A = this chain, B = another copy of it.
């Protein structure tokens, strides 16, 4: 532990020293300046576009492993260490060091983080299959439904209490920000403690997919409602829009599974005849990225597509590759996950702005909203009737709100009603705090509850 502390200090100093020496720390750095600067004074190799990203990768790789190690030592999930160390390096500006601020604005770094979480959900999808998911389908559906309804009305109530003079649409919007589950955190914890295939794990993952479709519906309804009220017409159009949104989303998921189930085995078989290295991994990544891409185009999250792609890949389909001596898909994907997944979580941590916690006038609203967000999702437990499955774990696993809540709030900030933005800047800050806290509290709570749930299962308790 003493040696570890020393290593940690050395590392942090080293990172600061390198960024001071090489000046990656232009806080005004934005995507626009990320273009070629060929012919600069740097020499034969003018500074490539990859240079700031290389620096970011070094920071993430070191920080993720040290953070993960430290938290593992105090029996907490590694992902919490990645998040917390992300928070630390994202807020060094508070102590006057802004050499790492560029990490927040570098687009390519963000893209790598996105690919990281896509790979994570693909890997999680690989561990289970469509049949197993279907077996908990009804449960997942009820979990998702309660997990949308309860937080929605709780959020509405909290908003009505704290902002009594605001129009009803503000409360509806705050309610909507409380609905959507961000499954990345939960998926990572499930994976780390090897619980993807547990009843709770499958229920949560299934519910997260359904939840994403419901989120789309809620958004369509809420924005349609406001549009209809403020213009006095267009309600008919918005109903059709809503139906179309739902049809596209459900159609995508059903289509991906049905068509994928037919095509994937054929493509895998065709791949056996392709004379190139890494065909199995290339096919798997192609299917993963294709479904992630299509999901985004439909309006769903890319990770929903990636998860579906993982479900489609079954051991039997690529048996031919393993038989001829190649590695299985899980083994091939894992090194890519080791490389890219921590980028997503460290980046999530570094986007946490500790300054937002400094405003006492927002803090009260924010904390009650957070409480509502956590309590509201416990309604999910009503959907769990599987013997031995921990209801508490499912409720806790649905807590993280992540980027979807933020995006709802941002949309609210762009819609005006009676001359004012539906979501004001201070309300937005409250939502940001809610998202941050729900993200950070989930990993430890979920880990404890799942390991306890396992204990109760052994005792034959039906929870």
Contacts and interface: CB of A to CB of B under 8 A. Distances in A.
Contacts of A54: 115, 118, 289, 292-293, 296, 302
A156 to B, nearest CB: 18
| Nearest 9 A/B pairs, CB to CB | A43-B299, A278-B338, A50-B114, A68-B276, A108-B111, A72-B275, A108-B108, A54-B293, A332-B335
Nearest to A219: B44
A65 B219 contact: no
A333 B335 CA distance: 7
A355 interface: no
Contacts of A281: 335, 338-339
A45 B298 CA distance: 9
A328 B58 CA distance: 21
A48 interface: yes
A84 to B, nearest CB: 14
A7 interface: yes
Given A65-B274, A72-B275, 20 more contacts: A3-B273, A7-B270, A39-B414, A43-B219, A43-B220, A44-B407, A44-B408, A45-B302, A47-B297, A53-B111, A53-B115, A54-B296, A58-B293, A61-B285, A111-B112, A281-B335, A281-B339, A327-B331, A332-B338, A335-B336
B57 A289 contact: yes
Nearest to A21: B297
A413 B31 CA distance: 26
A408 B38 CA distance: 10
A32 B34 CA distance: 9
Contact of A411 (B39, B289, B408): B39
Contacts of A68: 275-277
A46 interface: yes
Interface of A: 3-4, 7, 22, 31-32, 34-35, 38-39, 42-51, 53-55, 57-58, 61-62, 64-66, 68-69, 72-73, 78, 107-108, 110-112, 114-115, 118, 180, 212, 215-216, 219-220, 245, 270, 273-279, 281-282, 285-286, 289-290, 292-293, 296-297, 299-302, 327, 331-336, 338-339, 404, 407-408, 410-411, 413-414
Contact of A65 (B111, B112, B282): B282
29 contacts: A31-B107, A39-B407, A39-B410, A42-B299, A43-B216, A43-B220, A44-B212, A44-B219, A45-B300, A45-B301, A45-B404, A45-B407, A46-B407, A48-B302, A51-B302, A61-B285, A72-B276, A78-B276, A78-B277, A107-B107, A108-B108, A278-B334, A281-B335, A281-B338, A282-B338, A332-B335, A334-B335, A335-B335, A335-B336
- Work out how many copies of this chain go into the complex: 2
Contact of A43 (B58, B65, B78, B245): B245
Chain A contact residues: helix, strand, loop or mixed: helix
A46 to B, nearest CB: 6
Contacts of A286: 58, 61-62
Contacts of A410: 38-39
B296 A45 contact: yes
- Considering residues A57, A108, A180, A245, which has the most beta carbons from chain B within 10 angstroms of its beta carbon? A108
Residue from A55, A114, A293 having most chain B Cβ neighbours under 10 A: A293
Contact of A44 (B51, B180, B338): B180
